[in-house]
Each structure stands twice: as C-alpha cells, then as structure tokens.
Structure 1
C-alpha cells in the first residue's frame, strides 16, 4: 500500500456501507470513488467489496482486514493529532462545537457571541447535528450533549437537568378550554408531534403513549418547526422548557414539567484536549454561562 488515501477509501466504504455515502464523507464525487476502488482492486488482484442491489457494498474478508488496518492507522494519527493539539496554549485557531438544533436556536448562540468578543482570535465552527459525533475522530472538539457520555476517553461535566412540558399559543389555549391538568385531557386538543417513523426519542414515545394517532394533526422531525407550529396555533407541542418558556408567543399547556422526561445537558471534550487553551476557554466562558441558566433548563423560570 503506497497511498494512505486508498486505505481511507476502504475504511469509508466499510463504515458507510456503500459507495455514495463514502464518497460524500471523503469529499469526492461518486465516479471518482468508483474508479479508485476498481483501480485498487485491480492492483491488488482481490475483490474488497461485494456489489449488491440497492448500492450496498459489504466487505469481503480481504476488505475487512484492510479496513481494520486502516482503522488502526487512523487511531494512531488521531492520537498524535490530539496529543499535539492538547499542548496548544494559544487562544487562536479553529474550535469545532457540536450542538442540537434547539440549544443553538434558543440559548447557545448568544453565549458564542460573548465568547467571540472575549477571544477574537478563535474561529468558532458550530455543527448542528442531533447525532452523537465522534470526539475521538475529531468530528468536533467539544460537544454539548443531552446524555451522559459513556466513552471512557471523554471528559466533561453536567451543566443542568433538562425539563419538558406541553406548550400552545395563548389564543389556541383560550379557544380550547385552557391548560390541561394531565395527559388524560389531551383528547380535546390537536397535537403536534414527530414523524410516525421516529423511534427511540423519549419525548415522541411519551406523546405517542399519551394520545391516539387521530389527535396528531401536524408532524415534523424538527423541534424548532414544532415550536413554530405551536406558535401559529396549530395545536400543542411537547418541548424542552428552555425552548418553550423563552418564547413570548407560547404558554404552558401542562403547567408542570413531565417528570419522566427529565434529561441532562453535558459539555464534553476528549480527555487529550482538556488542557488545550481554546477548549479550556470555552468550558470556562460558555460552559459556565450555560450552567448559570440552570433555572431555564430545569423549567423553574
């Protein structure tokens, strides 16, 4: 193997399960990735991936061995990268943050503005993604996550609990008998929810148990769009309190937060990066700023 990019291609296809997604991850077009894979297989004289209907590319045993070797090499390169970055004492350069859409929309951006004022030499790149990005692979330097990290090589702290409850536009609530005392009264309301295929989302599952399918008049996979729909008077939406309580055009339809939906907000980085000046500055300024808004996150404001 003379070219690391050949190993990266094999690893990307193994991870993505297909050529199209792998090409996108590597920043090349499909035809380039296809040509490179065919040339690599011809050079080695071995098939690395099967080509199945639907565009799936399961690896052969040779492909599995090559992808595993590529992953070990990647781990070494990333460890070296983190080791060098971890000793960076400059308050300058790029800092990649990942956050959910709702947190960025309602709370985070104003704290990022204060961070930029305090540290103008640091360029902030915010990745809005509800997936858990890999901090080990440097998909981000810092993550704001709704769950406690399970990976042993991560370092961080809990900033607050996160409360959820139901919201509606004041005019809608007035026209439909006011707030509800509990889930048993949702039958008289139109509901805004997640798309029917959504699974594993605690709030969506709770709402699905509390109401019949017929009650849902509007569905979307975006919480910010659910907020907008509730604001427009379409019906009630189940939202985190930091999103709903901060909106002057919404009122609580269920006065108290739903206890079983209480979550958490964590700020996390890789342990190798915790001494980096940029990362420390972000934890100190943005992390502490978010922690001071604990009453908002926990539904007490």
Structure 2
C-alpha cells in the first residue's frame, strides 16, 4: 500500500459502512470510489470488503487490518498538523469554529463581528452543527459546546451556566395565563422536540414530565420552536438567552427551572492552545460571551 489515498478510502468505507457515505465524506463521486476500491482489491488479490444487501460493506480480516493501520497513520498525520498549527504565531489564516444553531442565532454572531474588526486577517468559518464535532480530527479548531468536555486531550473553560424557562407569545399568555408550576404542563399546548430526540437535556426533561397528548407541535430545531411560540402555537421550553433575547415571546414561567441547568464551554485541542488565532478568539469572543453570563444564567434580559 504505497498510496495514502487508498488507505483513506478503506478507512472511510469502514467508518461509514458503505460506499456512498464514504465517497461523500471524501468529497469524491460514488463511481470514482467504486473504481478505486475495485482497483485496490485487484492489486492486493484479496477482498477488502464483503458487499451485503442494502449497500452495506462489511470489512474482511484484510479490511479490518488495513483500517486499523490507516487510523494509526491518520492519527499521526493529524498530530503533526496540530503540532505545526500550534506553533503558528500569526494573526492571519483560517479559523474553523463550531457552535449550536441556537447560540449562533442569538449571541455569537455579534461577537464574531467584533472579532472580525479586531483581526481582519483571520477568516472565521462557522460550522453550525448540534453534533459534537471532533477537535482531534480537526473537524473544527474551536468548539462552543453546551456540555463539559470529557476528552483528556481537550483544553478550555466554562463561560457560563445555561438556564431554561418556558416561553409563549404575549397574546397567548393573555388568553391562557401564566404557568405557576411546571408540574401543570400537561394542561398546556406544548411545543417540543421530535419524538425520536433523545440524549438532549431539554427534550428528555419534557419527555419525563409531559404526556405525548400535550404536544401540539414538534421540531428538531430550538430556533424553530422559538418561532412557533412567537406565532402563538403554544408554550416552548427555551434557553433563557434565546427566549429573553426575543421581543416576540415572554416568560410563561417567571423563574428559570431549577433542575434544568446546562453549561457553556469554549474548547480547543491542547495542541492548538498556543496558536495565535486560537488565543485571540478565546480572548475576544470567549470573554465577550462570558460577559453575557447574567443573560445565559437567566438573570437579565438581552440588550
């Protein structure tokens, strides 16, 4: 195996379990991936994957061995990349940041504009994704996450707690009244997550307390839940920095919910913490978000 691209293809197919998703991950078309994989197997004189019904590709022993070797090579290449990037002392170049849709919609973009004014040589690429992207694999350089990082190789700090409360349009509340007790939510018209949502703190909190019959609208987007509440569809459970920052909704429950508290973290890979671009982002955007702590923690409305 002299061509690293061949090993990358084998690793991508192994991870994806199929050729279509692997080709997409590598940025090539399906026919190219198909030809390359057949050529690899022809050169080796051995099957690397068994083709199964439904487009599934199951690695053979040879395929497993190649994928393990490819992953080690990838780890070394990524470590080298991070090491070189970590020694970069220039305030120029690309900086890839990942954030949730909600944070990007409400608070982050204003701080990014200030960062751009201070550092015009740095191009920020924002990946809005509610998934946890891999900082080790350089899917992002910096992540703004609503959870404490667990990986030992990551470095960062907590910026604020995240409070949640219930919100509805003023006209809706004028008709139905405010909510005195979260235990009474079964009697409200509730806006919530899709039924398949799991592992999401707010969705799990609602699922434990409210019957399916109480939901009048479901969506996997918190921003759309805000829009639905603003349109008068019912009551939505929102982070306070999103709900308090929107004139179209008001709190249906006066105080944040005590047993529903999250965290906001800014995180990078430990190898990149010395990079000038990363330090500048932590200093300006991280500190800017930290100054919004009262809003994130539900103690004041947005300016």
TM-score tier by shorter-chain length is over 0.9
Deviation string 1:229-260 (CA, Å, 9 cap, x unpaired) is 00000011111111101011111111111222
Give secondary structure in 1 for the equivalent of 2:51.
Answer: coil
Match of 1:101 in 2: 101
Q: How far off is 1:200 after superposition?
A: 1.3
The residue aligned with 1:143 is 143
**Which secondary structure does the structure 2 equivalent of 1:51 belong to?**
strand
1:116-171 Cα deviation digits (max 9, x unpaired) = 00000000000011111111111100000111111111110000000111100010
Separation (CA, whole Å) in 2 of partners of 1:199 and 1:280:
35
Secondary structure at the aligned position of 1:283 is classed as helix
Q: Which residue of 2 aligns with 1:134?
A: 134
Residue of structure 2 equivalent to 1:175: 175
Alignment partners' CA distance in 2, 1:114 and 1:244: 23
Partner of 2:212: 213
Q: Root-mean-square deviation (CA), in Å?
A: 0.9
Structure-to-structure mapping, 1:110-129, within 5 angstroms: 110-129=110-129
> What does residue 269 of structure 1 align with?
268
**Count of aligned residue pairs for this structure pair:** 300
Q: Distance in 2 between matches of 1:75 and 1:212?
A: 46
- Other-structure match for 1:286: 285
Residue 255, structure 1, aligned to residue 254, structure 2: yes
Q: Does 1:28 align with 2:32?
A: no
1:158 alignment partner in structure 2: 158
Residue 188 of structure 1: CA displacement? 2.9
| Secondary structure at 1:54 match in 2 | helix
Looking at structure 1, the residues matched to 129 and 240 of structure 2 have their Cα atoms a distance apart, in angstroms, of: 20
In the TM superposition, residue 209 of structure 1 has moved relative to its aligned partner by 2.1
Residue matched to 1:295: 294
Report the counterpart of residue 60 of structure 2 in structure 1.
60
1:216-235 to structure 2, matched below 5 A, reads 216-235=215-234
TM score, norm. by length of structure 2? 0.97
CA distance in 2 between partners of 1:235 and 1:54 (Å): 42
Once the two structures are superposed, what CA deviation does each residue of 1:253-286 show, in whole Å capped at 9, x if it has no partner?
1111122220100000011110100000000000
The secondary structure found in structure 1 opposite 2:53 is coil
Please give the alpha-carbon distance, in whole angstroms, between the structure 2 residues aligned to 1:147 and 1:184. 26
Give the Cα separation in 2 of the matches to 1:48 and 1:57. 9
Paired with 1:158 and 1:238, the residues of 2 have a C-alpha distance of: 23
Residues 15-73 of structure 1: per-residue CA shift (max 9 Å, x gap): 11111111110001111111111111111111111212222212111111101101111
CA-CA distance at 1:99 after TM superposition: 0.3
TM-score by length of 1: 0.98
Q: C-alpha displacement at 1:106, in angstroms?
A: 0.1
Structure 1 runs of 4+ aligned residues shifted over 2 Å read none
2-structure distance, mates of 1:279, 1:206: 35
Comparing 179-188 with 290-299, greater Cα deviation is found at: 179-188
Stretches of structure 1 that go unaligned for 5 or more consecutive residues are: none
Deviations 1:103-123 (A, max 9, x none): 000000000000000000000
1:189-208 alignment, distance < 5 Å: 189-208=188-207
Q: How far 1:185 moved relative to its partner?
A: 2.0
- Cα deviation for residue 182 of structure 1 reads 1.4
